[in-house]
Structure 1
């Protein structure tokens, strides 16, 4: 009996910790299939008395899920990175065999979002989507809900009261944060500008409200110009920024509430040989990083994609395993603030 193999012997043979073997034996948490296989082989080799438990758990099939995602333009680095983080979060799950179906909308058309959601809804167990606010999407999300296919809204909270969850940043606070940064770093009052992606982005509306309200409350003599729509495109933002700089010599700050920041960065570089305008943009990319380093970008407000995607996958799996309680929730993540001195 003294030489009877123990958990420590199995762990040593498998090259893992005794704690991992204990988890695999008692089912206290999920152990990767590859690790479980190593433990089962090690238990077989050393003659561990409970080797059958490892083998039975290894042979037990994992429940399968198909999750669908709709993101914006794949050509934009942020959304390409978003897709990568989704796949990474899925690959870390060992309690389900998950297949992902990631689609990209090429425009801001409600019809395109509607078609994508309908297509994915016919084959997926749960969906997550970044989309505009439009009654047509409300109807689609309600139809999906009636078929027990939950929808999570990403970054922009659409289909409120119908979708299962919203996950993203607190957009009102993000706008106020942008206003705070500009009013604190620009010491000579002047004109400020703001770009939104379009009139159907509720999140951009909230950012605009937050931005304007903070600037107004600061009472430092700044004037916010009429809001400009850039359709989240580089070229439109570039041309509009050049026009702003030409028409308003006292322009001292620009906030890009959505996408298209690359155009603004290019325009201020072209007009000013040295940085003269405070520029607040979203998401850390190669271009915004370069802008921070050389001073043309004052601050980047970045979405914590790794945390978002991990939480998102949890929510989507939960929606398929628990009965709908009729509650539409929301999760606000803390943004990552990136400054020139962050590097």
Structure 2
């Protein structure tokens, strides 16, 4: 038989009204009493659990804000969130929201908005690109600095002892995740591959036309360009430029996020490896972590990165 509110109240020696306020995440209860109620509810098996995260006892309203545009990864992520949460994100934050998931630039104005949301009693998680200075309950995504370091390691291993230039196509350094990937990539090149250097690193704001133009320029300026690392969503422009320019020796092309288009690049030998964030897993974890933060009395959940996947032509997973 499932435990009741009365059972929890008896166990922690508090009133049923106090227990009800805690379970429904309402104000007016001290942090100590919230902890007592949640611990009792957990011990009695009252709260559901997913992926070792305690979930709220009642339905919660979650909203997600994603800069979708023409970004195929963001479109996939939004679809997976809808599939898992069964509730689409709204254009404006509703008064009923208990939790918010957001992908946003790391900017003082953004951080201030996010603080206002949390101070209003709404739980917050950041997705894909973190904003550590914001009072979020959790970050859901890969370690982007490690992803950049991995890209550099792969680039160096692919090229061996060859000496030459690389091009870097940066989405937007306003996103902390893109900035961290660039730093990680440059760090490993400096540490382990002095034979390789970055001749151009252009910020294209995730615009495919801009990435196409900049890649064509790089291929013209460096006919023997050894490799291209695309940090953000400009990969379609890079692939188009490689296809049209037809260099004597195709540069090693490394990009992020397994989508319908990047699957094609792998199969067609345009891309050599895709470092994938796993949109489905990020979507599921963002919902679980938001629900867990609503159910928990603690302001922050345990940090846990999504493990990136390295996708080559021979191990492209079934869609």
Deviation at 1:301, TM superposition (A): 0.8
Change (3 A) 1:121 1:153: farther
Deviation at 1:292, TM superposition (A): 0.9
Equivalents in 2 of 1:81, 1:193: separation in Å?
Answer: 27
Change (3 A) 1:286 1:309: closer
Partner of residue 197 from structure 1, selected from 155, 163, 171: 171
- Please report the RMSD computed on the Cα atoms of aligned residues, expressed in angstroms: 2.3
Partner of 2:77: 82
Partner of 2:312: 339
Change (3 A) 1:286 1:101: closer
Partner of 1:237: 211
Partner of 1:139: 112
Equivalents in 1 of 2:102, 2:246: separation in Å?
Answer: 39
Partner of 2:59: 64
Equivalents in 2 of 1:302, 1:275: separation in Å?
Answer: 26
Change (3 A) 1:307 1:205: same
Write out aligned runs for 1:17-56 (5 A).
none
Write out aligned runs for 1:159-174 (5 A).
160-174=133-147
Q: How many residues align?
A: 264
Q: Compute the TM-score of the two structures, normalised by the length of structure 2.
A: 0.77
Partner of 1:177: 150
The question of whether the paired residues in 1 share the 8 Å contact of 2:167 and 2:201 is answered with yes
Deviation at 1:224, TM superposition (A): 1.2
Partner of 1:291: 265
Deviation at 1:76, TM superposition (A): 2.6
Runs of 4+ residues deviating >4 angstroms: 27-30
Deviation per CA, 1:301-337: give whole Å up to 9, x if none: 11122222222111111222222x3447533111111
Equivalents in 2 of 1:334, 1:274: separation in Å?
Answer: 36
Partner of 1:148: 121
Partner of 1:319: 293
Change (3 A) 1:302 1:196: same
Q: Which has the higher contact order (CA 8 A, sep 6+)?
A: 2
Deviation at 1:197, TM superposition (A): 1.6
Deviation at 1:29, TM superposition (A): 9.2
The question of whether the paired residues in 2 share the 8 Å contact of 1:138 and 1:159 is answered with no
Q: Which segments of 5 or more consecutive residues in structure 1 lack a partner in the other structure? A: 1-26, 31-61, 92-99, 104-115
Change (3 A) 1:275 1:265: farther
Partner of residue 277 from structure 2, selected from 299, 303, 314: 303
Equivalents in 2 of 1:193, 1:329: separation in Å?
Answer: 37
Change (3 A) 1:90 1:180: same
Equivalents in 2 of 1:167, 1:197: separation in Å?
Answer: 20
Q: Which segments of 5 or more consecutive residues in structure 2 lack a partner in the other structure? A: 1-44, 49-56
